[in-house]
Structure 1
């Protein structure tokens, strides 16, 4: 969760409005943008979210910039079966939320540009590991 300060709340609202209205609709359509597909907890429909992360062996790692406030994290809590698009190819897997992992240290192992944005705009960071089926 965010720290509850007016600044943190404003940061959350600004970032999510930008992502929801501008960035995500464009990025999720790019064939080589890494994306996470969850199942909507209310609608049951596929929900695709552009993410930054890295495949390491049979796992895909990412850090959610708003932790449990992120809609895709709420969807994972309801149904951890997900798909991840990496380099244009979809992989199925099971997502695991890792609140005991150090998300700032984890970001140092992930793609630099996305990690910088997550650190700059995020609050309440949360590490996610997706164990891939293939």
Structure 2
């Protein structure tokens, strides 16, 4: 089972990195989270599916702490989130105590379905928005 999960992770992350994410980042109203690269210090933009609730933005990482953007958040929680074509500054918090499957039920359906299908280590992320 571990080998199958590792293969799925490698295949999905390559498809995301080289095909899906470059296209999604160019769509003006696609939701993005921008982290700071923990090694390069450069901005890294990752398409995510989430929802703003009041002054917070919630989403679920399909690979948890294996995701590069989650590792960037661990190194520097200051992020920006593009929602509805507008950028917001915020502070990201990893929420391992939150039930990610229950959280997915409250988030956009298409992305949530994809995360459930390919995810192997779901992790909820909350971004407290400053503006």
TM-score, normalized by the shorter chain, greater than 0.5: yes
Aligned with residue 75 of structure 2, among 65, 68, 78: 78
Deviation at 1:129, TM superposition (A): 0.1
**Correspondences of 1:57-68 after superposition (within 5 Å):** 57-68=54-65
Q: Partner residue of 2:97?
A: 100
**Secondary structure, counterpart of 2:41 in structure 1:** coil
TM-score after normalising by structure 1: 0.96
Gaps of 5+ in 2: none
Q: How many angstroms apart in 2 are the aligned matches of 1:107 and 1:11?
A: 20
Shift, 1:9, TM fit: 0.6
Aligned length: 131
Q: 1:20 aligns with which of 17, 22, 37?
A: 17
State the 4+ residue runs in structure 1 displaced beyond 2 angstroms. Answer: none
Match of 2:4 among 2, 7, 11: 7
Relative to the length of structure 2, the TM-score reads 0.99
Question: Structure 1 regions of 5+ residues with no counterpart?
Answer: none
- Across the aligned residues of Structure 1 and Structure 2, the Cα RMSD in angstroms comes to 0.7
